[in-house]
């Protein structure tokens, strides 16, 4: 590389290089001159205490305001679910949260009551290559559930998880314990897969506003890591502002 740099310099050609380390770790690599020599320092991405407090305060205020403003819609959805099929209105599922802690995530029920017991029967219908499971024609989805999913209204109860401190408004989606997604991510991406749990999981996120379920498993993982490594309040606000348009048009939702 030094020889190539000298050859370029002799001919007035600009020489630039990107080490593999920078490509892999992206925003986590920083230059360190502590020893008097230029060196690479790996700074593992996670929110500082100040950033975490600011993000948490925003989550509380935003979630409380949204829940109050949408209360009539909640009641209407509850009525539709009850009239459409037998079973509870809310669906709870154990998911991995911050640092791998397990919590109960809330959603409006969009499937038949015993859907989780039938997961093995629909594995072959998976439309996603890789770790994530999504099926466009999942026979377990109810009539009302199909429309709730199309406009992502089934996710609304997760604002209760935000108030409880288990989730954030924006962040990587929390993965379920029973679907095998976590194990598949660790198999495909090794120890790097655990970085998804460096921050609170979110209701919406970067890949949700970038194509939703039409985004491949590899792209989802890459977008999740990009968000973690480049977090800012401005990025959160941009994702939140884009989310309603994604919900209305319903592209990639199933």
Q: How far is CA 58 from CA 53, 206, 208, 233, in A?
A: 9, 18, 20, 9
Range with the lowest mean pLDDT among 62-71, 170-179, 233-242?
170-179
> CA nearest 207: which of 198, 197, 219, 195?
219
C-alpha 71/C-alpha 76 separation (Å) is: 9
Q: What is the pLDDT of residue 116?
A: 67
Q: Angle 138-203-49 (CA atoms, 0-180°, nearest 5)? A: 150
Contact, 166 vs 96, CB < 8 A?
Answer: no
Residue 15 lies inside a defined structural domain of this protein: no
Q: How far is CA 24 from CA 15, 153, 254, in A?
A: 21, 36, 32
Residue 202: inside a domain: yes
Read off the pLDDT of residues 107-166 as tens digits, 9 standing for 90 and up. 999 988 776 666 666 666 665 555 555 666 777 888 899 899 888 899 999 999 999 999
Q: What is the mean pLDDT of residues 44-73?
A: 90
Domain coverage including residue 78: 49-249
Q: How many domains does the chain have?
A: 1
For residue 52, how many other CB atoms are within 10 A of its CB?
14
Measured from the Cβ of residue 147, the count of other Cβ atoms closer than 10 Å reads 18
Average pLDDT over residues 208-230: 81
Q: How far apart are CA 4 and CA 207, in angstroms?
A: 39
């Amino acid at each position: 590389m030094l020889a190539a740099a000298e050859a370029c310099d002799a001919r007035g050609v600009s020489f630039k290089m990107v080490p593999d380390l920078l490509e892999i770790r992206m925003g986590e690599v920083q230059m360190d001159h502590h020893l008097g020599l230029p060196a690479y320092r790996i700074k593992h991405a996670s929110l500082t205490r100040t950033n975490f407090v600011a993000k948490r305060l925003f989550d509380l205020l935003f979630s409380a305001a949204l829940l109050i403003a949408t209360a009539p819609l909640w009641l209407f959805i509850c009525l539709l679910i009850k009239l459409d099929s037998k079973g509870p209105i809310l669906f709870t599922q154990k998911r991995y949260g911050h640092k791998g802690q397990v919590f109960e995530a809330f959603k409006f029920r969009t499937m038949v009551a015993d859907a989780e017991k039938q997961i093995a029967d629909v594995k072959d219908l998976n439309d996603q290559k890789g770790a994530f499971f999504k099926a466009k024609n999942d026979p377990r989805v109810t009539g009302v559930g199909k429309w709730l999913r199309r406009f992502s209204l089934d996710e609304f109860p997760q604002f209760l998880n935000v108030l409880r401190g288990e989730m954030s408004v924006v962040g990587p989606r929390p993965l379920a314990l029973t679907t095998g997604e976590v194990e598949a991510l660790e198999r495909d991406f090794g120890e790097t897969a655990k970085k998804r749990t460096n921050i609170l999981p979110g209701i919406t996120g970067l890949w949700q506003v970038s194509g939703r379920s039409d985004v491949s498993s590899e792209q989802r993982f890459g977008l999740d890591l990009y968000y973690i490594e480049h977090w800012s309040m401005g990025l959160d606000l941009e994702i939140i502002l884009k989310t309603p348009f994604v919900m209305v048009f319903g592209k990639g939702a199933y």
